[in-house]
Structure 1
Amino acid sequence: MSDETIGYDATHIQVLEWPEAVRRRPGMYIGSMGEHGLHQLVFEVADRLVNEAVSGRVGVTLLADGGVRVTDDGPGLPFAAAADTEGPGLEALLTELSFGSRPGDRRAVTLTRFGLGPAVANALSSRLTAEVRRAEVRWISEYARGVAVTPPTAAGPATGSGTTLTFWPDATLFGTAECSFAVLAGYFRELAFLNRGLDLSLTDERPADGPQTARFRFLGGVRDFVVSLTARAGTPVHTDVIGFEREDPRMAGTMEVALRWCGSPEERIRGFANSAATPCGGTHEAGLREGVAAALDAYARGHGLLTAKAPDLDTERVAEGLTAVVSVKLDHPEFVGATHGELGNAAVRACVGEAVGEHLGAWLEANPEQATAVVGRILGADALG
């Protein structure tokens, strides 16, 4: 069938320019035009600012008029790329979709699946204002539906340094949808657990009876995360939260692991890669399970708690009642599938498994009473009688 027959040729191809490409099909970029999509806008803006101040402060405020303000106390992003900075300037971040995370930097915090950046929030907002406090000068600029309304303009001296982005999601696209304080608070709470020292606050100015604020900062890292999870998992079987951190060049990254057994039969294992949750698991979770099983099996046999003919303790059996968090930060994370829900780096499995086996094995030997309680939880009280 010829082009003439079907009436279609190159003249029918429509090329959409910025920002119409995003505004015409917003669901392709943020998933939905409801609450979930609004949260994605917040994460796209917060992603860059968190990375500017990963050991400092980041504040998110849900404004009474429907806007969202995100601010950090970092060095302040220049509006244009400069020789003394890494990556694009703020103007590019607000008008160019970046697609993808920052490769080769395990310190980078990932808040979004695809790393689109604040440009997508700019395009889908009726208005966005940018303020940069840098080198003792305060700079401001404004955008409307992704297009610059005013160029960067010096607005006087700056107090301190940092970047503030305030945006108002376009009501013609999102209708009456609103951000959920509870959902955002839960997300930022996890992020603070995974990045010790990061100081995150969330304020909601919308309630008629006055604003509410939540602040998250956890110096204990994933150990504190496990403590919070075990609060809903029944009485702990042992007093210690077993945890460690390790860097392993074989996987080009670091790992942070914490675990504890509780009385509840439910398994609670949470995995993260570069601060992003991996709900479908992956090689880091597989390594955790295998390391736990190997350490417990070796201890039980070495102390006569399992006979030579008894089957090995497998990963399913040792995970009953286990609450654990495994967080890896990699220079080059590889994911299975487009949604980044499962980590695929092959080297991570062996590295995490080896490290967990060594650390848990040493803890079991150093804490015989708690070790007996853990093994008893897995084998059953009668097995130790």
Structure 2
Amino acid sequence: MSEDAIRYDATHIQVLEGWEAIRKRPGMYVGSTGKRGLHQLVFEVADRAVNEVLASLAGSVDVTLTPDGGVRVADDGPGVPIETAGDTGGLEALLTRMPAGAEPGGRHAVLLGLFGIGPCVTNALSSHLTAEVRREGVCWIQEYARGVALTPPTAAGPTTGSGTTIAFRPDADIFGTAKCSFAVLTERFRELCFLNRDLDITLTDERPLGESRSVRLRFPGGARDFVAFLDAQAGAPVHPDVIGFEQEDPRMAGTVEVALRWCNSREERVRSFANSRPTPEGGTHAVGFRDGVTAAVNAYVRKRRLMTAADTDLSPDRIGQGLTAVVSVKLDQPEFHGATHGILGGGAVRTCVAEAVREHLGTWLEGHPEQAAAVLGRIIRATPRG
């Protein structure tokens, strides 16, 4: 063992906190120092604004990509409190301190950032950030550079209305020439609005000279609208109705929303979400959905004698051909597996989702015999996947 190793003690440990730690290892907090990281900066700021709307404190969120490469996120909520001495819930705390409990709780909370740390990550990784708070008739302004406050919150005069606007410019020393993608941001915000009917998000891109573009995202139809959107890129639907329902079940301490429709396609498109977070690896809610669909379809087939007694039940793979579906659960205490939360656990979730899907799909099949005949005819005639 070397002499340096023997002398290693507590004096050799460098403790980094707050903005210093974030700037030292940005990839740990936003995933990368490329486009993915830039998008996470936007999501960390938008996270708070989106949850204001979901808590019925605000009506809408406006996100703007500005010509100088910056981003502006505004909401019409009550405005972030302007903190007083010792306050831990005000503006400066929001922009400089990492919360002890990073991830928000409750079924209605949306997590857009990687770990729920919030705007302090964006502030630390921005060359400049300006926060404007309109609260109780006063407009407050505070400016930062690379996570450090240049001024205290300063009253800038009277104002009408209320809300919070955070404008930031990502630090080129960290992100180089990477630019936010309007398409990527649109996709994620659209997804959120499909999964949360109360959300109203407008995304504007002012960067193209003379070609500013804007999209407003609001979908009162929820998961049904989501399926119709996904189906627009698939074959013609086998039946016109999008089958959908939403149901609460205390056994899993949450709600399940499901929408589905079969199309003339061999591809299966099932998208699953837990607390508005994509679960690309599936989990108990996705397995429960397949259990329920399989049980409902086979029960209907047997009741109508569409196959002989000697025939085996239709398999989930065969039933899933051409199926487009969205499965969304919102749980008080979701159990995720893995650091990336890509798969949902919880045994009760599988049972609850399966029972709900079997009941509602079975009722729809019974109540829509012509559409059911089209669906089952296609499934029975389909060639099993090899």
TM-score, normalised to structure 2, is 0.94
Q: Does 1:299 align with 2:303?
A: no
Indicate conservation of the 8 Å contact 2:71/2:168, yes or no.
yes
Indicate conservation of the 8 Å contact 2:128/2:168, yes or no.
yes
1:53 alignment partner, SS class: helix
Q: Does 1:268 align with 2:288?
A: no
Q: Displacement of 1:79 after TM fit?
A: 2.8
* Structure-1 residue corresponding to 2:251: 250
1:215 alignment partner, SS class: strand
Q: Displacement of 1:58 after TM fit?
A: 0.3
2:70 to 49, 67, 70: 67
1:37 alignment partner, SS class: helix
Change over 3 Å in CA distance of 1:287–1:204 after alignment to 2: same
* Structure-1 residue corresponding to 2:165: 164
Length, aligned pairs only: 378
AA aligned opposite 2:343: E
Q: Displacement of 1:182 after TM fit?
A: 1.1
AA aligned opposite 1:68: V
AA aligned opposite 2:189: F
Change over 3 Å in CA distance of 1:5–1:288 after alignment to 2: closer
Indicate conservation of the 8 Å contact 2:44/2:121, yes or no.
yes
Indicate conservation of the 8 Å contact 1:81/1:88, yes or no.
no
Q: Displacement of 1:74 after TM fit?
A: 1.3
* Structure-2 residue corresponding to 1:331: 332
Q: Which sections of structure 2, spanning at least 5 residues, go unmatched?
A: none
AA aligned opposite 1:146: G
Q: Displacement of 1:313 after TM fit?
A: 2.1
Q: Displacement of 1:75 after TM fit?
A: 1.6
Q: Does 1:102 align with 2:101?
A: no
Q: Deviations over 1:107-145 (max 9, x none)?
A: 112212311111100000111111111222211111111
2:152 alignment partner, SS class: strand
1:107 alignment partner, SS class: coil
AA aligned opposite 2:26: P
Q: How does 1:231-250 map onto structure 2 within 5 Å?
A: 231-250=232-251
* Structure-1 residue corresponding to 2:226: 225
- For the residues of structure 2 that align with 1:244 and 1:164, how far apart are their CA atoms? 36
Q: Does 1:122 align with 2:131?
A: no
2:289 alignment partner, SS class: helix
- For the residues of structure 2 that align with 1:328 and 1:64, how far apart are their CA atoms? 38
Change over 3 Å in CA distance of 1:38–1:24 after alignment to 2: same
- For the residues of structure 1 that align with 2:84 and 2:257, how far apart are their CA atoms? 34
Q: How does 1:79-158 map onto structure 2 within 5 Å?
A: 79-80=82-83, 88-98=89-99, 100-103=102-105, 105-158=106-159
1:213 alignment partner, SS class: strand
Indicate conservation of the 8 Å contact 1:113/1:340, yes or no.
no
2:354 alignment partner, SS class: helix
CA RMSD of aligned residues (A): 1.9
Taking only the aligned residue pairs, the percentage that are identical comes to 67
Q: Deviations over 1:66-103 (max 9, x none)?
A: 11000011121213389xx9x93332221112363212
Q: Which sections of structure 1, spanning at least 5 residues, go unmatched?
A: none
Change over 3 Å in CA distance of 1:59–1:2 after alignment to 2: same
- For the residues of structure 1 that align with 2:5 and 2:342, how far apart are their CA atoms? 45
- For the residues of structure 1 that align with 2:18 and 2:78, how far apart are their CA atoms? 29
Q: Does 1:176 align with 2:177?
A: yes
* Structure-2 residue corresponding to 1:21: 21
* Structure-1 residue corresponding to 2:48: 48
Q: Deviations over 1:227-252 (max 9, x none)?
A: 01111110101111000011111111
Q: Displacement of 1:309 after TM fit?
A: 2.4
- For the residues of structure 2 that align with 1:362 and 1:311, how far apart are their CA atoms? 23
- For the residues of structure 1 that align with 2:93 and 2:118, how far apart are their CA atoms? 10
- For the residues of structure 2 that align with 1:342 and 1:153, how far apart are their CA atoms? 45
* Structure-2 residue corresponding to 1:30: 30
Indicate conservation of the 8 Å contact 2:292/2:353, yes or no.
yes
Q: Does 1:57 align with 2:76?
A: no
Indicate conservation of the 8 Å contact 1:112/1:276, yes or no.
no
Indicate conservation of the 8 Å contact 1:47/1:109, yes or no.
yes
* Structure-2 residue corresponding to 1:365: 366
AA aligned opposite 2:150: V
AA aligned opposite 1:289: R
Indicate conservation of the 8 Å contact 1:283/1:346, yes or no.
yes
Indicate conservation of the 8 Å contact 1:97/1:117, yes or no.
yes
- For the residues of structure 1 that align with 2:238 and 2:69, how far apart are their CA atoms? 47
Q: Deviations over 1:29-85 (max 9, x none)?
A: 111111110000000110011111235210100011111000011121213389xx9
- For the residues of structure 1 that align with 2:114 and 2:74, how far apart are their CA atoms? 21
Q: Displacement of 1:372 after TM fit?
A: 1.0
